[in-house]
């Protein structure tokens, strides 16, 4: 059924459809409508199970991961400061191999205080061992939550579904909300380990020695690598049932491109528009959208970009003192590619500033004219600075 809903409500619909048994959450703008909608669903008995209204995001994640270790399907949602406060527990969730699913609505981190879209909050959780999926629109947010539970419960790793403040969280779009029967078919009840079975005593989280620590990390890394294939398989199966698929990465017109734009999340939609407009003018432009950030889809990106001579990475985040985080990651992924290429990072959209077609076209012109890349990022400064 098509519904005209915000991205936040699309996420809540997905959580309901997944028959999520345990939700623990704490309010933070711009995530709060997810929490409120889930509370409404609980009150109307559409969402059955247990809802813990915690006193902090840190406790929310603590409770989600312990509930997950007990064997139930667990979900939370947060943004920005809340995610930063959760940071410690994110490591626990992945270290314990719990398939917790979280929606993270990207929001600027203080200070300065602000409420706008900026991906640095979720990207700063890069090394916590969470699968990360970046969504382009409301439909993808809904679909990705459903996929996330399937993937997480298959590989026993937690998964973060990332949507941008306002552009997705609060903007309304027509969204296909799938039938419950179809979701049930795709996502059966959780079949995950029950770590606290009183007939089988065990100790989750004991102290280990150096070599044991290395072994556990190795196992977790292998699980992450294995997850790439699972993400693809699950996406393919999802497409078979629901008619929509997204892949690890998505490419448009890359084959003959002189310049490929690399984007994530909502900037992708605008880039698609610019691409069509500039292609009409005869410019050979391509576009690659990175959807999955962890595990990083190196192989998929190399197969698309190994033969491309110019790449412009446009992004809404920064690792201060370096550059946009996707740009650094992409450069690392292509380090072993044959031949030379120019990879230029453009910081556009930092702090939730508009990335409109004109701005993307300015980036295109700059990249096409450029003979070599700068070592640092190029800041696209516009109005309001």
Partner 1 sequence: MIVDRGPHPEEILRSGHTACPGCGVALGMRMVLRALGNRAVLVVVPSCVAVISGPFPHAAIGVPMFHSAFEIAAPTAAGISRALALQGQEDIPVLAFAGDGGTFDIGLQSLSGAADRNENIIYVCMDNEGYMNTGIQVSSATPQFTWTGTTPTGNTRRKKQIMEIMAAHRIPYAATASIAFPEDLANKVQKAKKMRGTRFLHLLSPCITGWRIAEDMAVKVAKLSVETKIFPLYEIEYGVKYTVNYNPQNLPVDRYLEVQGRYRHLTTDNKMTIQAEVDRNWEDLMNRVARTSPD
**258 neighbors 310 (Cβ within 8 angstroms):** yes
How far apart are alpha carbons 75 and 11 in whole angstroms? 11
Angle at which helices 80-95 and 57-70 pack, to 10 degrees? 30
Q: Candidates 49, 245, 357, 382: give the one binding partner 1 (CB under 8 A).
A: 49
In angstroms, the CA 78 to CA 76 distance is 7
Within 64-83, the residues that bind partner 1 by CB under 8 A are 64-72, 74
- The yes or no reply on residue 24 touching partner 1 (CB under 8 A) is yes
For residues 100 and 318, which CB has a smaller minimum distance to partner 1 in the complex? 100
Q: What is the DSSP annotation of 284-302?
A: -EEEEEE-EEES--HHHHH
Q: How far is the CB of 54 from partner 1 (least distance, A)?
A: 6
207 binds partner 1 (CB under 8 A): yes
Cβ–Cβ < 8 Å for 46, 73: no
Is 53 a binder of partner 1 (CB under 8 A)? yes
Contact pick of 29, 39, 59, 81 for partner 1 (by CB under 8 A): 59
* In the complex, minimum distance from the CB of residue 209 to partner 1, in angstroms, rounded to a whole number: 8
Decide: helix, strand or coil at residue 191: coil
d(CA 34, CA 91): 24
Q: Which of 9, 164, 27, 130 is nearest to 82 (CA)?
A: 27
197 binds partner 1 (CB under 8 A): yes
CB count within 10 Å of CB 55 equals 8
CB-wise, 89 or 308, nearer to partner 1? 89
Contact pattern from residue 156 through residue 195 relative to partner 1, giving x for each residue in contact according to CB under 8 A and a dash for the rest:
--------------------------------------xx
Report in angstroms how near the CB of residue 22 gets to partner 1 at its nearest. 6
Contact residue for partner 1 among 1, 44, 45, 202 (CB under 8 A): 202
In this chain, which of 55, 225, 372, 375 binds partner 1, going by CB under 8 A? 55
Q: Say which residue the tokens 């003959």 belong to.
A: 256
Closest to 38 measured CA to CA, from 46, 164, 30: 46
| 28 binding partner 1? (CB under 8 A) | no
Nearer to partner 1, 201 or 336 (CB): 201
CA separation for the pair 332, 317 (Å, rounded) = 17
The binding site for partner 1 (CB under 8 A) comprises 21-22, 24, 49-50, 52-56, 58-60, 62-72, 74, 88-89, 92, 194-198, 200-209, 212
């Amino acid at each position: 059924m098509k519904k005209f809903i915000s991205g936040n409500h699309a996420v809540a619909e997905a959580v309901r459809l997944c028959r999520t048994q345990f939700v623990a959450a704490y309010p933070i703008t711009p995530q709060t409508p997810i929490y409120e909608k889930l509370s409404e669903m609980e009150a109307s008995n559409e969402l059955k199970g247990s809802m813990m209204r915690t006193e902090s995001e840190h406790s929310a994640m603590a409770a989600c991961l312990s509930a997950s270790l007990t064997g139930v399907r667990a979900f939370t949602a947060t943004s920005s400061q809340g995610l930063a406060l959760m940071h410690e527990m994110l490591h626990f969730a992945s270290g314990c191999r719990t398939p917790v699913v979280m929606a993270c609505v990207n929001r600027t981190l203080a200070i300065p205080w602000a409420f706008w879209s900026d991906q640095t909050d979720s990207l700063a959780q890069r090394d916590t061992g969470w699968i990360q999926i970046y969504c382009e629109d409301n439909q993808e947010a809904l679909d990705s939550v459903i996929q996330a539970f399937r993937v997480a419960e298959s590989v026993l790793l937690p998964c973060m579904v990332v949507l941008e403040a306002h552009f997705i969280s609060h903007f309304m779009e027509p969204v296909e909300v799938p039938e419950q029967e179809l979701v049930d078919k795709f996502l059966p009840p959780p079949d995950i380990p029950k770590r606290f079975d009183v007939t089988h005593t065990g100790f989750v989280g004991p102290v280990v020695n150096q070599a044991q620590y290395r072994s556990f990390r190795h196992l977790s890394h292998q699980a992450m690598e294995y997850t790439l294939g699972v993400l693809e398989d699950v996406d393919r199966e999802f497409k078979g049932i629901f008619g929509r698929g997204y892949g690890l990465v998505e490419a448009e017109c890359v084959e003959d491109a002189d310049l490929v734009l690399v984007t994530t999340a909502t900037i992708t939609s605008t880039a698609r528009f610019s691409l069509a407009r500039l292609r009409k003018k005869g410019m050979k432009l391509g576009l690659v959208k990175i959807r999955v950030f962890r595990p990083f889809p190196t192989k998929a990106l190399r197969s698309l970009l190994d033969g491309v001579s110019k790449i412009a990475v446009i992004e809404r985040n920064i690792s201060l003192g370096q550059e946009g985080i996707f740009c650094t990651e992409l450069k690392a992924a292509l380090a072993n590619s044959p031949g030379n290429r120019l990879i230029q990072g453009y910081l556009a959209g930092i702090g939730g500033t508009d990335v409109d077609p004109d701005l993307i076209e300015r980036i295109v012109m700059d990249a096409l004219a450029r003979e070599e890349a700068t070592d640092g990022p190029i800041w696209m400064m516009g109005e309001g600075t």
